[in-house]
Amino acid sequence: MRYLTLITLIFCAFISLFNYSSAAVVCPDWSSQRLEREIAQLSAQLQRWDIAYHQQGTSLIEDAVYDNLREKQRFWLRCAKKPVSELNPPKSNEPNLHPVAHTGLKKMPSAQEVAKWMRGKQDLWVQPKIDGIAVTLVYQQGRLTTMLSRGDGQYGQDWTAKSRHIPAIPQEIADTSGQLVLQGELFLLMNGHQQKLSGGLNARSKVAGALMRRTLSPDIMQQIGVFIWEWPDGPQTMPARLQKLHELGFPLSQKFTQPVSSLEQVSQWRESWYQQALPFATDGVVIRQQQEPQGRLWRNKTASWAVAWKYPVVQKITDVTGIELSVGRSGKRSVVLLLEPVTLDDKRVARVSLGSPERLKAWDIVIGDRVAVSLAGQGIPRIDEVVWRVAVRDKAIEPEGPPLDFLSCFTPVEGCRAQFLSRLVWLSGPQGLNMAGLGPATWQKLLDARLLDSLIDWLFLTEEQLAQLPGVGSKQAQKLVAQIQLSRQQSLRRWLSALGFPTAGLPMAQRMSWRQLQQFSEQQWLTGQGIGPKNARQIQRFLHHPCVVTMMATLHQQQLPAFD
């Protein structure tokens, strides 16, 4: 029977052509020269961000993005077999020496790492990790004499004059014992801020901006609070330290510093502060030991007696490892980004749809770029931003050939394979003939074996032909033949949907016979509910397309009930 329609199929093919008219992370497959170039570009940008953060008090990038790119730099350095040293803040040009150096905090990536760090340690306490600006306060004989920005941890800017305009900072304290040094955070006072619901709200940048201005804004200064998290060489026990801070005019430290002895307790406080209303923005918790070295031993490096555990991220940053251009059954082209797999809300994300090729151009994404991914409604992954672009910009993929539409590629002619495969997948799917066992992989094998020349050639496949396909075998072939036979009994509505009949016309079409469909005019289709002029034209074009006419004639000749 296939050969009876050979001439028509050849013509159909011509019309179709006319209508067409994780695994482990591995080092990038780059030359050594390119790897050097990529490392140099990323390192230079990281240094610019470091200078802005440590010397100017300005955060030009989200902490999570910075941390991720810093880790990417370390990874590339290891790939290039270069030394990876501990990060030190860029040396400040400020002449003001901190009396006690500011240390850094090592960020714990998981609960397991927190538990590992806590093991064997005693007298542990947890505090919220407030999102603000670190400063040193120096009191002499009970009077505030100096306020320094953190800077590089060793040297900072003199903000003493600005401290006089911040009511939250006591200018005098009830301690006249000599020099008293405190380290803490200046933050934006907020009313009932819930971190989980509202995020950081750019609170840190607002404080930094206010302190960097030459002309101070009294209104903003009134909104700045202070949280003391270190008292070098202060009282030996944490309870005594916190009580004394309260008496000196720093009550928040006592209120928000809690004793813990287990990971479970740390997790409970972390979750509580993440969800409850607080007077400041936070981005995690700090776990610290009561016992600390003498202040003279502190260095502007990562502390050994305290670590940070940040809140769960709502987005992940990962690499683009590939770009695929797919074609749907209606001819719509779409771009899918292949990603280094990440987990978001217990969902593994390894690919994300970007939309049309035009959107790919607008995003300017190439393989090797680093992107931020999150989950949109119904758990669908999406690209939020490109956080880093590689230095070498390979040309983006370009769709080849003329545009495709809902009437192109009813046959697998050159340039039509992708859309033709999508048509087959739809045909056997739940919206079509619902044929178990005939999915994308099986259709791909049939195409590779050149057993399909039209959208309905599978009706004539034999058990022997199917059994010869790679990975099929005789038992699977029998099941496929059974599905093919069952499909012959499907309703006209299912067959129409399977072949690509415009969806808007299906409710009306299911009440008619095949012959009535052929005789219906465009004006008659317009009487159907929800069918406008565009839908009516598409229905008529579909029913009178040579490929569709040929297929329906063949189905009628095969005496399928739907086309009898």
| pLDDT of the chain, 564 residues: tens digit per residue | 333 334 344 444 444 444 433 345 689 999 999 999 999 999 999 999 888 876 666 677 877 788 889 989 999 999 999 998 766 666 656 679 999 999 999 999 899 999 999 999 999 999 999 999 999 999 999 999 999 999 889 999 999 999 999 999 999 999 988 999 999 999 999 999 999 888 888 888 889 888 888 788 888 999 999 999 999 999 999 999 999 999 999 999 999 999 999 999 999 999 999 999 999 999 999 999 999 999 999 999 999 999 999 998 778 899 999 998 889 899 898 999 999 999 887 788 999 999 888 899 999 999 999 999 988 867 789 999 999 999 998 876 666 667 789 999 999 998 899 999 999 999 999 999 999 999 999 999 999 999 999 999 999 999 999 999 999 999 999 999 999 999 999 999 999 999 999 999 999 998 898 888 888 999 999 998 889 999 999 999 999 999 999 999 999 999 999 998
Q: Residues 16, 409: contact at Cβ < 8 Å?
A: yes
* Residue in the structure block whose two tokens are 């090729």: 357
User: Is-above-0.75 flag for pTM?
Assistant: no
Measure the CA–CA gap between 241 and 237, rounded to whole angstroms: 6
Measure the CA–CA gap between 354 and 376, rounded to whole angstroms: 13
pLDDT score at 151 = 87
Catalytic residue among 72, 129, 244, 310: 129
Measure the CA–CA gap between 173 and 157, rounded to whole angstroms: 23
SS3 call for 255: helix
Between vectors from CA 437 to CA 435 and to CA 438, what angle results, nearest 5°?
65
> Could you tell me which residues are beta bridge partners of residue 125?
259, 288
**Exposed, middle or buried, 281 (CB in 10 Å: 0-12/13-18/19+)?**
buried
Measure the CA–CA gap between 330 and 369, rounded to whole angstroms: 31
Tokens of 289: 């030991």
Please name the CATH architecture into which domain 96-310 falls.
2-Layer Sandwich (3.30)
**Exposed, middle or buried, 28 (CB in 10 Å: 0-12/13-18/19+)?**
middle
Q: What are phi and psi of 216, to 5 degrees?
A: -80, 145
Measure the CA–CA gap between 70 and 150, rounded to whole angstroms: 21
Phi-psi region of 78 (alpha: psi -120 to 50; beta: other; left: phi over 0): alpha
Q: How many CB atoms lie within 10 A of CB 301?
A: 15
pLDDT score at 1 = 39
> Could you tell me which residues are beta bridge partners of residue 302?
104
CA dihedral 448, 451, 456, 460 (to 10 degrees): -150
pLDDT score at 396 = 65
**Exposed, middle or buried, 86 (CB in 10 Å: 0-12/13-18/19+)?**
exposed
| CATH fourth-level superfamily of 315-388 | Nucleic acid-binding proteins (2.40.50.140)
pLDDT score at 10 = 41
pLDDT score at 313 = 75
**Regarding the domain delimited by 2-17+405-563, which CATH topology (the fold level of the hierarchy) does it fall under?**
DNA polymerase; domain 1 (1.10.150)
Residue 3 DSSP code: G
Q: Which of 419, 432, 427 is nearest to 330 (CA)?
A: 419
Q: Residues 438, 483: contact at Cβ < 8 Å?
A: yes
DSSP 117-185: HHTT--SEEEEEEE-SEEEEEEEETTEEEEEEE-TTSSEE-B-HHHHTT-TTS-SB-S--SSEEEEEEE
pLDDT score at 371 = 95
Measure the CA–CA gap between 424 and 506, rounded to whole angstroms: 19
Is 361 in the active site?
no
**Domain locations in the chain?**
2-17+405-563, 32-79, 96-310, 315-388
